Structure 1
């Protein structure tokens, strides 16, 4: 074997890491970036190798691969002269394209900072989701940084789903995803029997360029547009959600035993006698958490046991690769696309009652003020002592139902302890100022033909909140444990509003006599105080809406910077590894440390977590967009049967072209176009979020009641059009001189009336549009606010 040659490398802050991972370590990515950044001009491959004094064939090949990977990941750019330069120089920015249906788009930088505006000409060569390196070309007339394509790193769309349209002998596929702004040209020889009007999937054979639209080949015909269940198939294909299991995954799954093997229980803490229970919705099938509480230590002992998914989904397996690719389970109103095969999600990893299951448990000591005083994690084997629904818990704790209490008499004392702990944790939540927005969640109910039967509000009670607070507490414990031991991991991060968002919000509130304290960086307590002050005002809905829109979206990242909405300094997702890949990564990090591992010999490092965080945040957004699309289509189908009918509604949004109204009884949203409002000249005030009639003085604002008539439903565009039910003062009752309408009380009254008729025949199928995500999230509304944990 040739002796290792002496090599000169830049001062490498990660040399020890590289030496631990490779038998012949070369310069780390960080060192290469520094070398290229300090160079006077872009360096060729030969020049980089010479600077490092590499001559050994293995070193040269490793360097070539690393430089190629850095170009692929957008860290480096290879120019036309075959020179490498770092992307953070030469006004270059790498990121992902977010397309707008009107033809323009934005590049969202990987490293944060302001978005780059991409004009329609640049967008002709791009599709939604593409990753590119852009060159900053200047500032447009609206003061936005503008970019142009420097390099396309990754194409996001290998297939597109949409409607086949034939015009003048030319066949195109009109994408269902409105952010894909180019129609896909389908040559006749690639139609594969697809007919005009059918929904099909096309493989992109030629990506778009500045001069040519994308070209594709039909690979699958989904069927007719209005077929039952078609909306879910379209969403799955349109958003690129993996739904079929690769053969390698099926082979690995088949090899797993149906029951927990005796050997797997060894060297684990035996928790089977601890009366852990699961509390879930009535239609849940995957139970990934169980809880137990006792009054102890002048406070509480809380045990949160989570299914040990990592015991079955190991690194570098097909199961792991597929779970990472999916990122999350996707819960449609009438179907689930799981992250893990059913054998695991509903079987071995589901904490079903009276069977042994492997778990990773957080055993926590909580003080009487709600502070977590001791954190201990254990790998255990457990046995759920009861499977309870939220209704069961509510009947036991809130309604005193003797039949239910007798049925679960063995665990009633522990449930009462949980209720006592919940009250303590709730007080702690309020003290730290966690933001709580008032919102209405809905549940879609279907008939036997798979059509919407009704849309009902979801009634939440202390039973839901008990589990939410327990899960939040366990998530905080996981984050603190990982921080303490400096393990590379993913944290759930929600940053507060910044810069212009704060200034605009403060201006809006001051005009309404409200003050947002906290200076340039207001905290959660400052937001909560404003919400409390506005709670009983007629314009409370408008104030809440504007504050909600000022929030950023919660994301996954390896830097623990806290969760603004929950008012927490540390937060990670630990409690749902069956349905979220970040939770599985957190489990692996905790188990590595429990088994004596250190950060330096962990199989993941910080840059891996950066990649995981970006991917998991993307798959979460993908799932949210897909479920919203399905719900929008279902509601459009439902409202088609009600064209011409009149309903009471609530204005939820105001734009220059009209007002958006949500129906009180059906929770479907539609647009009252400005031309349908009573005849007048209307002026839009973006700061005041209002539309004002010049002559009549009518003012339309979010939170105003409005009676409307359904006039048109477009399923393809997912749009519902309303007209005011009369041309009198039914809507816009607030006058410019300061009179106010009734606000949100009408909506709440309608919700309560509707909730009273919630029980349906047993034959009707129920499905929640949030299901498991509601159980785990301590809030609702825009991601990252009160409860998008």
Structure 2
């Protein structure tokens, strides 16, 4: 019955019909079959396969010009619904009480420009059942608004349901009843404390995001069974496949504050005069067994989350900072990828295996950069035993990088803003982090290992998880080229094959230069970010389509299993299908891992996006908080983007602010999208993307994470 109904409703000749008409078309005979028909129609509707209109006629969504999707309500009152058809625009008076994250049913049509527009006809599911926010008062009634500014909902709390929470206390509210006018009733289920307490601002955002913080009890119990050190002799005797590399000169290079050290490196020359590069990655899969509580929780989290004042780890600190971390002067289990590389940077041989290492030096990026770039003799003397190897590593890294760029790989300069916090979690400064030799060295070696493992596993034709990156759309590239032209880069691309190298020429011109001033660096950051935004989003999947950004035919993530679940899964797959170990007790490991890879790819891509949104939102919030201390300050920035409601200006320290057209009292400005500028109707004054402007910081709204500027003048 089910298949017959779907086949009929999906046929080209079908039009919406009531059950009696469907009954006749299906040639059904009696009341029993009619009852079964109605039940099946209702079941298909509940499952979201079909729907019915106000006349009781059933059809697929497309036949009724209906679509399902998640709504996103914007500050301007309008909304977009993300559907299989793409984004559908909803005017404010057609939202019908839906709030961001709700699953809605939309009736759509094409406007006169051929774009989808529609109205919400049904709220299928309220996806917001709990909000986090501060208590306030409205006409003496207690209310809570979510700290997630996308949720345009006013929740009223009765006095008996406040749990003694006071005004400005951050609380968790369970919504008990929704009303059509974007209001709801709710009750407080947890009180966290006053919003001005140190760190509670970030804590509130974490709680609102849904990122898990505390580890479940079954995970805590499992942690207690894991040793805090390894008995190397016993392990080597029990498993002869594990190689003993404890005497090898192996080091780690990480940030000064890093505690989860998951990669170590070594370099020497072999008898053929080629480089012998070793990349050694913490063997997390030895401790986190497939299907264990630890594994389930790690998959649920997907990734560690790095916030301005804390890290939310994927694994408990006993693992991430302890037995799995490749700490100095202690034995640790690793997955090794050793590569023979010729002097042109070609990997001509490799070996992937399990080993035990002993990290001889816990190096930092600052120390290594002091030796390689700053020529600090005192530090060179302190590490005399590894300085020659570091010089060779730097030479090899440059060779690998040049080879990668030559094949068309993009080289995005890392100029991320770093927030300096005081003991109370307040921002005292914002500095731009520059990627120097030590950081580039580690990046190149990890890229080489990731690519080598991916290629080796691909040849085996077994289940595997790839890191893939598609080509950007023609529309995005056209827009990028137009904007680059405004910044003085006249890039001509005759065909798509030439695109990577042409864009790479722009990126190479942004190379870090010690002589660049803050104005030049800020412009570089903007161009970098602009080019990154034009790219497709990299993701995980079980099918290999290559990595456009790296110009790689085959790529994976192997080198960070302490903080990324895909890397942990890759280690298991290597052990199962390459090294011949039993990672799971099932009838068919091939089928089991094929299913696992599919789910883990989707889950890891979702959790990666969730982490990125939270990280960005926390940084933006802290920037607004920092800017609020400088209201009235006159400063300088670049005009970086133009919208239909205002222009955005980015200061040299990466803080971005909005100048609304409504606040530009000197004239009425028209937007000229083609040339990336606004033009005054009376005075014909022009403000264009790339212009340097003197601005005044007018306001900083923490609730909206929004900073407002006023243009003082255009600089010469």
Q: Which residue of 2 aligns with 1:616?
A: 604
Match 1:721 to one of 698, 708, 712: 708
The answer (yes or no) to whether the contact 2:304–2:312 under 8 Å persists in 1 is: yes
Distance 1:79 1:660 in 2: 44
Q: Which residue of 1 aligns with 2:220?
A: 250
Matched, 1:667 2:654: yes
1:9-31 Cα distance to aligned partner (Å, 9 max, x none): xxxxxxxxxxxxxxxxxxxxxxx
Q: TM-score, normalised by structure 2?
A: 0.83
Matched, 1:552 2:536: yes
Match 1:588 to one of 553, 572, 575: 572
Does the residue aligned with 2:247 lie in a helix, a strand or coil?
coil
Match 2:333 to one of 348, 358, 362: 358
Distance 1:122 1:252 in 2: 52
Matched, 1:270 2:241: no
The answer (yes or no) to whether the contact 2:413–2:507 under 8 Å persists in 1 is: no
Alignment of 1:648-687 (within 5 A): 648-664=636-652, 666-677=653-664, 679-687=666-674
Instruction: Compute the displacement of 1:284 (Å).
Output: 0.7
Q: Which runs of 5+ in 1 are unaligned?
A: 1-31, 45-67, 734-740, 742-789
Distance 1:121 1:326, change over 3 A: farther
Distance 2:428 2:205 in 1: 21
Instruction: Compute the displacement of 1:514 (Å).
Output: 2.9
Alignment of 1:678-717 (within 5 A): 679-717=666-704
Q: Which residue of 1 aligns with 2:152?
A: 181
Greater Cα shift, 583-592 or 189-198:
189-198
The answer (yes or no) to whether the contact 2:466–2:540 under 8 Å persists in 1 is: yes
The answer (yes or no) to whether the contact 1:37–1:86 under 8 Å persists in 2 is: no
Distance 1:489 1:38, change over 3 A: farther
Distance 1:544 1:339, change over 3 A: closer
Matched, 1:162 2:125: no
Greater Cα shift, 344-353 or 454-463:
454-463
Does the residue aligned with 1:77 lie in a helix, a strand or coil?
coil
Match 1:569 to one of 544, 549, 553: 553
Does the residue aligned with 2:348 lie in a helix, a strand or coil?
strand
Instruction: Specify which structure has the bigger relative contact order, considering alpha-carbon pairs within 8 angstroms and separated by 6 or more residues.
Output: 1
Instruction: Compute the displacement of 1:177 (Å).
Output: 0.8
Does the residue aligned with 1:562 lie in a helix, a strand or coil?
coil
How many positions carry a matched residue from both structures?
667
1:553-594 Cα distance to aligned partner (Å, 9 max, x none): 222222222222222222211111111112112222112113
Distance 2:690 2:683 in 1: 20
Distance 1:37 1:547, change over 3 A: farther
Greater Cα shift, 567-576 or 490-499:
490-499
The answer (yes or no) to whether the contact 1:392–1:404 under 8 Å persists in 2 is: yes
Does the residue aligned with 2:689 lie in a helix, a strand or coil?
coil
Q: Which residue of 1 aligns with 2:299?
A: 324
Distance 1:178 1:610, change over 3 A: farther
Distance 1:129 1:555 in 2: 22
Distance 1:668 1:541, change over 3 A: closer
Q: Which residue of 1 aligns with 2:164?
A: 193
Distance 1:91 1:251, change over 3 A: farther
Does the residue aligned with 2:476 lie in a helix, a strand or coil?
helix
Distance 1:95 1:469 in 2: 41
Q: Which residue of 1 aligns with 2:286?
A: 311
Q: Which residue of 2 aligns with 1:416?
A: 391
Alignment of 1:233-248 (within 5 A): 233-248=203-218
Match 2:316 to one of 341, 353, 357: 341
Distance 2:336 2:63 in 1: 47
1:353-376 Cα distance to aligned partner (Å, 9 max, x none): 111111111112223222222332
Match 1:114 to one of 72, 86, 90: 86
Instruction: Compute the displacement of 1:226 (Å).
Output: 2.5
Q: Which residue of 2 aligns with 1:487?
A: 462
Distance 1:135 1:671, change over 3 A: closer
Q: Which residue of 2 aligns with 1:225?
A: 195
Instruction: Compute the displacement of 1:550 (Å).
Output: 2.2
Q: Which residue of 2 aligns with 1:286?
A: 260
- Report the RMSD for the aligned CA atoms in angstroms: 3.9
Q: Which runs of 5+ in 2 are unaligned?
A: 11-18, 20-42
Match 1:204 to one of 158, 175, 188: 175
The answer (yes or no) to whether the contact 2:51–2:61 under 8 Å persists in 1 is: no
Instruction: Compute the displacement of 1:522 (Å).
Output: 5.8
Q: Which residue of 2 aligns with 1:15?
A: none
Matched, 1:397 2:372: yes
Distance 1:212 1:108, change over 3 A: closer
Q: Which residue of 2 aligns with 1:8?
A: none
